[in-house]
Amino acid sequence: MAKLSVLGTGGWGIALAMNGKSCGMDVVMWSLFEDEVKALQSSRESRLLSGIKIPEDIEITNDLSRADNADITIIAVPSFAVRETAARLKSFNTGIIVNVAKGFEKGSMKCLSDVIGEELPGRKIVVLSGPSHAEEVARAVPTSVVVSSYDAEAAGYVQKMLMGPKFRIYTNSDVTGVEVGGAIKNVIAVAAGIENGLEVGDNTRAALITRGLAEMARLGVAMGADRNTFMGLSGLGDLIVTCMSVHSRNNRFGNLVGKGVPVKEALSQVGTVEGYYATEIVMRLAEKYGVDMPITAECYSVLYNGADPLAALSNLMTRPGRPECETETPWM
């Protein structure tokens, strides 16, 4: 039986562990936090996935050696913990490493697969992304995602081992596009949440999602991605689900900010909000590559400079007129 090791016992890690078990793999879940492990071992249930029982035959441990000798190792920790987690695996037989965190590394502004590659040179690395709320994957709600790797054989193996009747996996060779889409959609989701908190309407949300997609594609292409990737699952697909769903922490966080809750208080209420951290990094990347990203810029001004959300919306609506289509691709 093939072995799957999942590093991280948040909602997404648990959901992917359960999916791996349903696909017939031997599954070990690891967490750095002993108290969290003991609670999960005792209750077989996470507060992040209420009402969902973790199968008894999924091992839960804080002994990292139990994750050794895997065929696939999933890194399911927040983006800020990816490098530290990867560094712990230097002496391990990880098999293919699958990163499911969405974001960029603070400081270096690197894509997370590059961060893992620096810590674990020579390993086969796959990125998994797409519209996939953990709450639904854990309940076996039909879901489609995409995996991407510079090693097509590795991506194909992950597709083969983790795809099932309720969890469909596509492959895509554009690693940069898949990672950029997954990171920037978090920023736009925060902006959509702010818009929702302001209670302005569906028209506004539709415009924000559409123009947010244009910003995503602009930066992605500047970073070397294929623009077509952003019309796929890791771009448009993930953007829709994150901007529209109550399951999205980015959306919930933005909603609180839009209603006037101070940023720090909103963060403490929601927990880890990847879009908050990504907003600052994406602004720096936009400056580095000379890309116009007005929604991201206004989101940054609200989150980091204390700007009024309504004023930020007004700034977006009163920008000078321009053509919708700047290239042969209308949505850019």
Give catalytic residue positions.
Answer: 185
Round to whole Å and give the CA distance between 187 and 254. 10
Beta bridge partners of 3: 26
Which residues have a Cβ under 8 Å from the Cβ of 163 and sit 6 or more positions away?
23, 169
Instruction: Find tokens 């995503």 and name the residue.
Output: 216
Round to whole Å and give the CA distance between 111 and 104. 5
Which of these, 173, 176, 138, lies nearest to 159 by C-alpha position?
A: 173
Q: Please, what is the angle between helix 175-198 and helix 274-289, to 10°?
A: 120
49 to 45, 54, 215, 252: CA distances (angstroms): 7, 10, 32, 16
Alpha carbons within 13 angstroms on the beta-carbon side of residue 57 total: 9
Indicate the pairing of strand 59-61 with strand 125-129.
unpaired
Beta bridge partners of 6: 29, 74
Q: What is the DSSP letter of 27?
A: E
Burial class from Cβ neighbours inside 10 Å (0-12, 13-18, 19+) for residue 325 reads: exposed
